[in-house]
Structure 1
């Protein structure tokens, strides 16, 4: 019995040592979506840096897909090793194109778009119904914002009135023609992918989010949240990023998704 107990204690110690071991990927690059900027990632940033990750936040100009990809690649160039690349909403399109970079070990889509090579972002909406709350006003210069009167219901229903007002009034317009640009690459076909789906998202049809994630073979996590899930559920998002970093290794860059059929955790 004493021998068995000793074996059990040794095994427990080994498991604890493995749990405490640092992930093989310690860099994280966060890419925001349309109508927002990188400051919305603050909660995720604080959580991940507290866990020992080196986090870089991209500031997309939102002037074209090429410009946003270039901004993301500049961030990737500054990494000192492999990185998890994370995108929210339109940022998913950006990481899909930019994620073929050799430094990207895995992809995390946070209520995000994920076109295939040869597809446009706009095509992802075909066959799905956008919730009526989400209304974009396009101005004469071709840039669009979420209709201010609709902003909280459409983007940030689970934030306070004050936070929603600040996000509404600090919107970053996006050049609407970006949604019509065909992608040259689909990084999720080469890299393991994870998807966080906000179940109260009013920017996308839920069936659309599920269809995109399942096509990627992404490991799916669902969470009750608005489209501002990257802000309102920062710990859940950080947990998924941490999981991705622990499951990938530098050699997995040419691998397939960690769960080919896609898994769901509640």
Structure 2
């Protein structure tokens, strides 16, 4: 049997190329599995609407005490791309596996920025968790309207939560004095921020964890359960208002530590 030399060379090249591609895929898969199984060294925290980075103040020392490097991002609350960019800049500075955690609106940022190669796991705390390209408002409309939404006040394009709604519907289970401190640092958001849609859904490819607030008056608890179930997240439920990161910091820190692979 005679084999044309060009046919032989072409077949050999294809075989070598296929072997190289298979090898590269195996290496990439192994790297992904290693990253997923490694203990995280870092935790990046992102706050949502009606707050600033200090909303994580009760959780941060609990994580630091377990040897983790912790950074709380100051979310600009302007547009979704700008908010995601702020988180990515912090993720770029991390060395090694990093847990990315978000509260409330920051779930949008976790979902988008979570594809960053440094991110080993995602944690959602009473947070939005859209799919790629999903209209979150349309999804939320399938569930009972959260009381806090009626308390949003706009000054032109700038929105904030009114004092009464903030204390009752956002931070309802905090001692009054602590809730008023949180109110004092409330940062206004730009209306355009709410129109943003994620292009990625990081939870589809990375380990995800979700803390549901069962007494939440800002994001409906059943909506939280739906999003957690859809992503197959390891889920805990806390009898808490929307700000479980302040009223149940030990449980939230515990969930983040679990996502980090446990720390002694």
- What TM-score range do you get, normalising by the shorter chain? 0.7 to 0.9
Map 1:148-227; keep pairs closer than 5 Å. Answer: 148-227=163-242
**Normalising by the residue count of structure 1, what TM-score does the alignment of the two structures yield?**
0.81
Q: Which of these two proteins has the greater Rg computed from alpha carbons? A: 2
Q: Is the 8 A contact 1:113 1:124 kept in 2?
A: no
Cα RMSD (Å): 1.4
SS of alignment partner, residue 203 of structure 1: coil
Residue 64 (structure 1) aligned with residue 66 (structure 2): no
CA contact (8 A) 1:41 1:231 kept: yes
Q: Secondary structure at the residue paired with 2:138?
A: helix
1:134 is displaced (CA, Å) by: 4.1
Unmatched 5+ stretches in structure 2 = 1-37
Match of 1:260 in 2: none
From 122, 125, 135, the equivalent of 2:150 is 135
Instruction: Give, in angstroms, the shift of residue 154 of structure 1.
Output: 0.7
Runs of 4+ residues deviating >4 angstroms: none
Q: Which residue among 82, 85, 88 is the counterpart of 1:73?
A: 88
Q: 136-145 or 229-238, which moves further after superposition? A: 136-145
Aligned to 2:137: 122
| Equivalent position of 2:126 in the other structure | 111
Q: Secondary structure at the match of 1:85?
A: strand
Tell me the equivalent position of 1:264. Answer: none
Preserved contact between residue 153 and residue 162 of structure 2 (Cα < 8 Å): no
Q: CA deviation at 1:131?
A: 3.0
SS at the partner of 1:139? strand
Report how many residues are paired. Answer: 225
> What secondary structure, in the 3-state scheme, does the structure 2 residue paired with 1:87 have?
strand
CA contact (8 A) 1:37 1:59 kept: yes
Shift, 1:81, TM fit? 0.9
Under a length normalisation based on structure 2, what TM-score does the superposition of the two structures give?
0.82
